[in-house]
Structure 1
Amino acid sequence: MQPEELYELDTNQTSEVSEAGPEGMALLVHLEGFMDAGAAGRLLTEHLLDAFEHTTVARFNIDRLLDYRSRRPLMTFDDGKWETYDAPELSVFRVADSAGKPFLLLTGPEPDHEWEAFVAATQEIAERLGAGPMITYFGVPMGIPHTRPLGVITHATRPGLVSSKLPLPSKLQVPASASSLMEYRFGEAGKDAIGLVVQVPHYLSQAAYPTAALTLIDALTEVTGLDLPALELHEAADRTNTLIDRQVAESAEVAELVQGLEAQYDAALAHDGENLLADGEEMPTAEELAAQFEQFLAEQGGSED
């Protein structure tokens, strides 16, 4: 199929984007379903859509892309009949930051099918709207403590787009994602694309961790120059960190494990500067954490905060 058959553009909104002078307008991408430790990417995406004015400029044909049996949407049954159906959506939004500067946000479930067609469609949308660079973001679990600053790993389709303080090993082979394929294909086409990956303490990877989203938004601001205040995320981070610190203080076992992570973090920092991904570093696994801590964090992951 042709890429344009996979999506529908809102021509009225498209004309508004064109009139706004979108040359170089960033295209942010967060697809749900791949790795996102601490729900960092999800929290950032929700903040952007909640805090800033936005309109839908494109919708993808989700029936062509989603495996409903592996990710079943929710329905509500009430008073003898079906009341609601939470239809999944994969859309591109035009968002304006606090200064009125426009950017695009592509978000929704990661496609299960037709990745190449989907990537070609996103390239076509970016071309039609004059958007770039394309920027993906998410969280990855690491053996680091929550009491130290979170690092952001950056990568890009060409040198000079970003400067990473946390260089990756020279060669890795990992399972693919639709967003990583987007970055790869954009690079092949000579288009700028950037990846932002925040490091999240592995024992917080299953919980909603707003501090990770705040770290991502700082990196995003640095890369794009967008004005993205995050008061709500700051407040949520403060509440969550207070709960975590209280739990650590109440358990000598948990406190000992966190202290061990702190010692390894500080030693790695002293030995390798800011590169915490040095080969051979032995980090505690999630299984080593106390069951009490894991239960607490799971409960926090289900809360609105």
Structure 2
Amino acid sequence: MPAEPRLVHIVDEVPELDGSPEHLTMVLVLDGFLDAGNAAARAARHLVDLEEDGLLGPPAVPSSSRVVATFDVDQFHDYRARRPAISFVRDHYASYDAPRLVVRLLRDSGGTPYLLLQGPEPDNRWEAFARAVREVVERFGVTRVVSMGSVPMAVPHTRPVALTHHANDPELLLGATSPWRGELRVPSSAQALLEVRLGEWGHPAQGFVAHIPHYLAQLDYPRASAALLEQVELAGRLTLDLSVLHAEAEQREEEITAYLADNAEVDDVVQALERQYDAFERAEESGGNLLAPDEPLPTGEEIGQQFEQFLAGLEEPDDPGPDVAGPDTTGRD
């Protein structure tokens, strides 16, 4: 039987990690499923931008952003299901956006190194992918894997961003209270399976899933990106500059507020969600449901129709706007 092809290629020498740091975090973001509002993808891009813009670490410390492990994406990606973009320039094809699944070496504001595993979620061979990630974890001595994700929920944008905490070791939760009761059967993901397998192999892994207002699920929602990275800071013992994300979040909130002021019907939808949210908060200690019994939840179609103009109005002519042609931000099979 032919040997299984090597699924991950790891750099032999990484001087920045010599001496096995006491704590080495690997942040995990897989695009395509758990990313309503592009929250996790935007958070990951922010981490890379900080490094490439030279905003991290003392001036005397050179940028350490580089790829230290590369996964064989051809083994995991279904090109017909998620076709990469390619440019057609007058009479020829150019600028093929090849999917990449890589591990980058980054540093936080204090110069502490950490890793970022980012790329499209594997469409197949999840178990093989998990084993390949294990190679990376054990090769570099990763002490904790921290994942980010986001899902559309019946929550208003006028309330704090809610987060679901999860981990393969209860001690990693640090007393965080789950909003869920009992067992939920939900569609799995490579990211979720990886957390399970890492736990079986004795490697700590935890994550955070932001709850995105479902009427904004197709729009970049930087407020949630900042909320996710605030949790990554705590879990990974990192210090990150989130000022750019906070500024983007303020601008987005102003745009939403201005739109609601001119659209009473949409504002009514948001107010109904506010009442549902507040009712849940009051009933949470007694095990109440997320939905208030006297507040019917608008359907996704109804909310989509109400916000169709809103989404179109936020796109500037010279701005590509939200990545609506990219990975599905609301989840897919």
TM-score of the two chains, using structure 1 as the length reference: 0.92
Q: How does 1:67-216 map to 2 (within 5 A)?
A: 67-162=78-173, 163-216=175-228
1:109-154 superposed Cα distances (whole Å, 9 cap, x missing partner):
1111211111001011100100021111111111111001011110
Q: Does 2:29 correspond to 1:11?
A: no
Query: What amino acid is aligned across from residue 179 of structure 1 in structure 2?
Result: Q
- How far apart are residue 23 of structure 1 and its match? 3.4
Cα 1:148/1:261, change in 2 over 3 Å? same
State the match for 2:254 in structure 1: 242
Q: Distance in 2 between matches of 1:220 and 1:40?
A: 13
Q: Does 2:298 correspond to 1:284?
A: yes
Q: Distance in 1 between matches of 2:179 and 2:242?
A: 27
CA-atom RMSD in angstroms: 2.3
1:225-265 superposed Cα distances (whole Å, 9 cap, x missing partner):
21011111111111111110111111111111111111111
State the match for 1:46 in structure 2: 45
Cα 1:151/1:124, change in 2 over 3 Å? same
- How far apart are residue 304 of structure 1 and its match? 6.6
Cα 1:199/1:125, change in 2 over 3 Å? same
- How far apart are residue 2 of structure 1 and its match? 7.0
Q: Distance in 1 between matches of 2:169 and 2:26?
A: 17
**Residues 119 and 182, structure 1, Cα contact 8 Å, conserved in 2:** yes
For residue 72 of structure 2, the aligned residue among 25, 45, 61 is: 61
**Residues 88 and 109, structure 1, Cα contact 8 Å, conserved in 2:** yes
Cα 1:161/1:275, change in 2 over 3 Å? farther
Query: What amino acid is aligned across from residue 103 of structure 2 in structure 1?
Result: V
Q: Distance in 1 between matches of 2:276 and 2:136?
A: 45
Q: Distance in 2 between matches of 1:90 and 1:274?
A: 44
Cα 1:83/1:91, change in 2 over 3 Å? same
Query: What amino acid is aligned across from residue 187 of structure 2 in structure 1?
Result: P
**Residues 155 and 164, structure 1, Cα contact 8 Å, conserved in 2:** no
State the match for 1:32 in structure 2: 31
**Residues 143 and 285, structure 1, Cα contact 8 Å, conserved in 2:** no
Task: Point out the structure with the larger helix share.
Answer: 1
Cα 1:284/1:168, change in 2 over 3 Å? same
TM-score of the two chains, using structure 2 as the length reference: 0.84
Query: What amino acid is aligned across from residue 297 of structure 1 in structure 2?
Result: L
**Residues 92 and 107, structure 1, Cα contact 8 Å, conserved in 2:** yes
Q: Distance in 2 between matches of 1:292 and 1:236?
A: 24
Q: Does 2:263 correspond to 1:264?
A: no
Q: Does 2:22 correspond to 1:23?
A: yes
Q: Distance in 1 between matches of 2:286 and 2:43?
A: 25
Query: What amino acid is aligned across from residue 35 of structure 1 in structure 2?
Result: L
1:182-222 superposed Cα distances (whole Å, 9 cap, x missing partner):
00101111211102001111111111111110111111112
- How far apart are residue 297 of structure 1 and its match? 2.4
Structure 1, unmatched stretches of 5+, are none
Identity rate of aligned residues, in percent?
39
State the match for 1:230 in structure 2: 242
